[in-house]
Homo-oligomer: A and B are copies of this chain.
């Protein structure tokens, strides 16, 4: 018997039966189901925290951990040795890319100003900027970054994509310092790794143009919060953040009241249609697992 564990009954319904696999459901809370200890492939819950090392130690036969988000940092910290980790590349990509574009356009087109004018019944058109006249640097050349690129290129922006390694159409991280001074917008769509933690610090920000915009839809700790705060408060830079460090942002944190900032509470992924996309991926993954085919979205 090959046991796989899905997070909940809704997941089981969306996945259906897969030949050769016995499905149990558990998300780390509540009583443990029969055969849980025999689990060989575990699908982590999208909405609950990662399992603890103690809980994972209770799954000695675990070989594959499937996560439903693109970022895997919280699970990577507890991953037992020898277990293959697969991420949810593509599940939240469209929705997260969309929020990045919403934050870019919201700031560039000054939607908060027009909201104030609407409240004041003030029809003032005045000068206005547009990304079609701007340069955009996207750091992160995965599904999310590529979608942001396509969406903004369609609107006329001049977009440069940056990935881990140089390849046609993608610049490497080493090129970033030289690219920064001419960018109007910098979008961060990278997972949290040793290379991306604190990537955007005072020095990085100091290379950016006056009035340039930083948008982050990846992970909060990619930006050094205090360094960004200084630039927002001086009015030199603008930002759009869907992720912060710390997160959730506690009441009274200075980011809440920072000027020149559009802030959303980590709502890039997880939009209404995500379970359909997530469990289509899980279904495909289970079929591959059952017959021993190479798995999709292997991170490590």
Contacts and interface: CB of A to CB of B under 8 A. Distances in A.
A99 to B, nearest CB: 6
A102 B107 CA distance: 10
Contacts of A150: 150-151, 154
Contact of A109 (B99, B129, B133, B256): B99
B109 A102 contact: yes
Contacts of A128: 267, 270-272
Nearest to A132: B94
A272 B127 contact: yes
Interface string A152-168: 10111000000000000
Contacts of A264: 109, 111, 114
A75 B111 CA distance: 30
A132 B265 contact: no
Contact of A156 (B98, B130, B155): B98
Contacts of A252: 121
A48 interface: no
Contacts of A123: 248-249, 265
B130 A272 contact: yes
Interface of A: 93-95, 97-99, 101-102, 105-106, 108-109, 111-112, 114-115, 117-118, 121, 123-133, 147, 150-152, 154-156, 248-249, 251-253, 256-257, 261-267, 270-273
12 contacts: A98-B108, A98-B130, A98-B132, A102-B111, A109-B264, A111-B264, A112-B115, A114-B262, A115-B262, A121-B249, A121-B253, A130-B272
10 closest pairs, A vs B, by CB? Answer: A94-B156, A133-B273, A130-B271, A94-B132, A150-B154, A102-B105, A123-B248, A95-B130, A151-B154, A121-B256
